[in-house]
Amino acid sequence: MSLLQPDPQAPSVWRDNLPVTSRYTYGLAGERFFRILKDEGKIIGSICAACGATYVPARAFCERCMAELTEWTDVGLVGELHTFTVLFVDMEGRPLDEPELVGFVRFGDGGILHKLDADPDDLQIGMKMEAVLKPKAERIGAITDILGFRPVT
Amino acid sequence: MRKVAVIGAGMTKFVRRALETPKELAWEAAKMALESCELTMKDIDAVCFGTAPDAFDGVHMNGEYVSDGAGAWRKPFMRAFVGGGTGVFSSIQGWYHVASGMFDVVLVVAEEKMSSFYPHAQAAFLTIFDNFTERPLKPNLLWIFALEMNRYMTTYGLKKEDIARVAVQHKRNAADHPCAMLGEPNITVEDVLNSEVLAWPVQRLDVSPISDGAVAIVMAAEHVAKRLTDKPVWIEGVGWNLDTAYWTNRDLVYPRYVEYAARMAYEMAGIKEPRKEIHIAEPYDPFDYKVLHHLEGLQLADRGKAIELYLDGTAARDGNLPVCPSGGLLGVGNPIAAAGLMKIAELFWQLRGEAGARQVPGNPRRGVAQAWGDLMQIGTVVVMGR
């Protein structure tokens, strides 16, 4: 039974919504991270030497010691596949026409959650994955400037 | 700090879509809890109320909106708001209201009505993700759990058919719970493995359902509790701990924050060997693999070995360490905040010997309840004993 199947026994309802629209700023670190992704096609992290942590995507401060992070580093476009899933339903529980692949690719102590372009049978946790970027002219400074990750061939 | 006891509890049925409004659900549970210890609102000094995201009820400041159902009219009132950790945390909040000496008797209510969110409650969680790095991909919670489950299974070489035993046992346990929505006395591992794949490796029956419901307890200071009941159940230890706000920076295999919360609670309770000193565990079980995570964080199993408690019968209701004898979220249902407080109520009933068909044999003396929430990063732990 689909989650969305109407239930004839259900109580009657009044429909309304909770409208909220926001304008989110990218922030001190985000502004720079996404600008570099857009202009230079690089993934940038920030380093806290005292805590031995590399934050990817880059952050403005270290969550462990609260120091300002001023040391930035290019972590490259290749990370490690930390885990992945194959999606069969959408957010509302409807079956997808084609299963979709989503993975978490580790960079430094963080990483990037994104779509994967691969055959699911070829995926193995721990393998190297490469970011596929949009052409520079089409990049707008968003995580979707990365189209996804594919196995390094 | 003063000693604090739970002296009463009440719980609505957990259902797929309740006719009752959130206020009415809260009221039903609160009324049952008061009646269970023969108190009235005149005896209640303060009210603690827990509900998870405002989005479910579709009302901003939902805690205050629902507050009359929790009995907050002209009382000191506070809302606990730590996502899935809320139910267990609301009892911690009730505990420090009383332990501090501020109040003698506190009513703690947790309510959730997830069915109002249309068309599916999952979508309410879209807005918990980072605006820049995650939301453009339109992620949902199932992704996150599927990713975590895959990493956990792969790290320890666990099999799907073994993990499915968790769902089977909890749903079978729930068949004995009068408030349960998914009790299934005859469910099998095959049923779980044949259920719809949502996001591999997560299947329909690996997951707890969207539910509506409410639970309430009454907490009292020692001098009041001893006057009102022969069977107070004491809060012996409490703990809570928060991991990084970034999902991408967490250990997906081991919940360190649950360990820290558990160690805090065990130390307060004077527990040195939890595997010997805890007689019942009610870890948070929205997904079957998550129980295993939590048992390991609670120090009740070695890392990667929690599944053995299910395979060798230790976790069964008549085993050496019964896990979720209530039926848990997987079996009774998962109205988020209410489901957490259900675990506290279950320990209350079990330790008093009042759990009916669910009763764990052998006069259990001590139990631990745990929930998990916020942005999948908080552990909330309570040890109760008699």
Which of B308, B106, B54, B304 has the alpha carbon at shortest distance from B220?
Answer: B106
- Closest Cα to residue B178, out of B48, B32, B315? B32
Give the range of the structural domain holding residue B342, as residue numbers without chain letter. 4-118+209-385
User: Cα dist. A88→A69, A113, B353 in Å?
Assistant: 40, 18, 44
CB proximity list for B382: less than 8 A, separation 6 or greater: B88, B91, B92, B95, B235, B237, B238, B239, B265, B344, B347, B368, B369, B370
Domain-located, residue A15: no
Q: Which residue has 């959130």 as its token pair?
A: B22
A114 touching chain B per CB within 8 A: yes
For position A91, what pLDDT does the model report? Answer: 75
Distance CA B129, CA B7 (A): 39
**Contact between A104 and B58 using a beta-carbon 8 Å cutoff:** no
| DSSP bridge pairs for B212 | B15, B113
Under DSSP, the state recorded for B333 is -
Which residue do the tokens 């307890």 mark? Answer: B217
Q: Please answer whether residues B39 and B217 qualify as being in contact, where contact means their C-beta atoms are separated by less than 8 angstroms.
A: no
Judge whether B24 lies within some domain. yes
Tell me the CATH number at B256.
3.40.47.10
Test B248 with A84 for CB contact under 8 angstroms.
Answer: no
Asked if B132's CB is within 8 angstroms of A34's CB, the reply is: yes
Q: Whole-angstrom Cα distance, residue B86 to residue B89?
A: 5
Question: Which amino acid type is present at position B377?
Answer: Q
- Compute the 3-state secondary structure of chain B and give helix, strand, coil in percent, each to the nearest 5: 45, 20, 35
In this predicted structure, the answer to whether residue A150 has a pLDDT above a threshold of 80 is: yes
What is the pLDDT at residue A1?
40
Domain membership of residue A39 as a residue range: 27-151
94-153 in B: which are within 8 Å (CB) of A?
Answer: 118-120, 122-123, 126, 131-134, 136-140, 142-143, 146-148, 150-151
**With an 8 Å Cβ cutoff, are B200 and A85 in contact?**
yes
Contacts of B121 in chain A (CB under 8 A): none
Q: How far is B112 from chain A (nearest CA, A)?
A: 17
B5 contacts: CB under 8 Å, gap ≥ 6: B219, B220, B221, B222, B225, B229, B232, B233, B234, B235
Name every chain B residue with its beta carbon within 8 A of the beta carbon of A114: 137
- Whether B131 is covered by a domain: the verdict is no
| pLDDT for A5 beyond 70 | no
B9-to-A80, A100, B82, B135, B344 alpha-carbon distances in Å: 49, 45, 22, 40, 9
Tell whether A91 lies on the interface with B, counting CB pairs under 8 A: yes
Question: Residues B209, B182: contact at Cβ < 8 Å?
Answer: yes
Contact B332/B285 with Cβ under 8 angstroms?
no
In a domain, A114, yes or no: yes
Cis peptide before B178 (omega within 30 of 0): no
pLDDT at A3 over 60: no
CA A32, A33, A34, A36 dihedral sign is positive
Q: A87: which chain B residues are within 8 Å (Cβ-Cβ)?
A: 142-143, 146, 198-199
Alpha carbons B46 and B61: distance in angstroms, whole number = 19
Report the alpha-carbon distance of residue B44 to residue B62 in Å, rounded.
22
Return the residue of B nearest to A1 by Cα.
B196
In the predicted model, is pLDDT for residue A62 greater than 80? yes
> Does residue A6 lie within any of the structural domains?
no
- In a domain? residue B107: yes
Which residues, other chains included, contact B143 with Cβ-Cβ below 8 Å and sequence gap of 6+? A85, A87, A102, A113, B199
**In total, how many domains does chain B have?**
1
Q: Does A147 touch chain B (CB under 8 A)?
A: no
**φ/ψ bin of B331: left (φ > 0), alpha (ψ from -120 to 50), beta (otherwise):** alpha
Is A20 inside any structural domain?
Answer: no
Low-confidence ranges of chain B (pLDDT < 50): none
Counting the structural domains of chain A, the total is: 1
**φ and ψ of A67, to 5 deg:** -75, 150
For the segment A98-118, what is each residue's pLDDT rounded down to a tens digit? 999 999 999 999 999 999 999
User: What is the structure's pLDDT at B289?
Assistant: 97
User: Which of A15, A47, A65, A87 has the highest number of chain B CBs within 10 A, making it the mutation to test binding with B?
Assistant: A87
Q: How far apart are CA B59 and CA B51, in angstroms?
A: 12
Which chain A positions have a beta carbon within 8 Å of B59's beta carbon?
18
Q: Do residues B262 and B295 make contact, with C-beta atoms less than 8 angstroms apart? A: no
Centroid of chain to Cα A41:
16
* Residue pairs spanning A and B at CB distance below 8 A: 111
Position B71 scores a pLDDT of: 97
CB contact under 8 A, B120 and A92: yes
Answer yes or no: do A15 and B19 touch at CB < 8 A: no
Cβ–Cβ contact B197 with A under 8 A: yes
Is the Cβ of A144 closer than 8 Å to some Cβ of chain B? yes
Residue B157 falls inside a structural domain: no
pLDDT at A59: 97
Q: Do the Cβ atoms of B264 and B382 come closer than 8 Å?
A: no
